[in-house]
Copies of this chain bind each other. A is one copy, B any other.
C-alpha cells in the first residue's frame, strides 16, 4: 500500500515516541510487542530498531534486547558540547547566508516565542523554541549540517525538557534569542556564533547543575 517501507515509517514513529517521552530512557523495546502494536511482524521492527541504534537513540545489547538509550551525565554533557559547536556554526553561516524570507520566518518564530513567554506557558515556549532553532539550521544553507543539528537536537530533547521549569529560564532564553536575532539580522557572523554557542552551553550547564543536585538522577546504564 504505502510507497515507503514500513520499517522507515516505524523508525520515524518510534523516534518520535522516544523523543516525546512515551518510552523512557532505559525502557526495553520488545520487538514482538511493537510488532503487534504496529500491526506487522518482527522484521520491520528489527530494522527500525537497528537504524535507531546507529543514530544512538537506542542501544542494542546482543542477545539481550534493545533499550532506549540511557545516557550518563558525561555522555549528555559531551553531546551538549558538540551541539553548542554545531549551533554556533549554524549561526555563523546563517548570518552570512540567510535570505529575507528566512529572516522573516525566524522573526515570526521569535515573536511566537515572545507570546509564549508573556503567557507564561513554558511548554509552549519550549515547542516554539524548537521551531526557532530549526529556522537557523535551515538558514545555514548547509543541508548536511542542518540534518546533523536536527538529529542531535532531537536526541537531547528528553534531557533539555528537564530544565523546562527552572526559574527564569524562559525569560533568559528569550533574551538570548533576542541577541541572536539581532546578530543574524545585522549579518554579524562572529556574534551570532558566540551567542548561539553560549545559548546552548547554558543548557548544558543547567543540565549539569541538575545532575549534580540530584545525584542519583542519571542512573548507570541498565
B-binding residues in A (CB < 8 A): 3-5, 7, 46-47, 50-51, 53-55, 62, 75, 78-79, 81-82, 85-86, 89, 93, 142-145, 148
Contacts and interface: CB of A to CB of B under 8 A. Distances in A.
Kindly report how many copies of this chain are found in the complex they form together.
Answer: 2
5 contacts: A75-B143, A78-B142, A81-B142, A81-B145, A82-B144
A124 to B, nearest CB: 30
A145 to B, nearest CB: 5
Contacts of A75: 143-144
B82 A85 contact: no
Nearest to A141: B78
Contacts of A143: 75, 78
Nearest to A147: B56
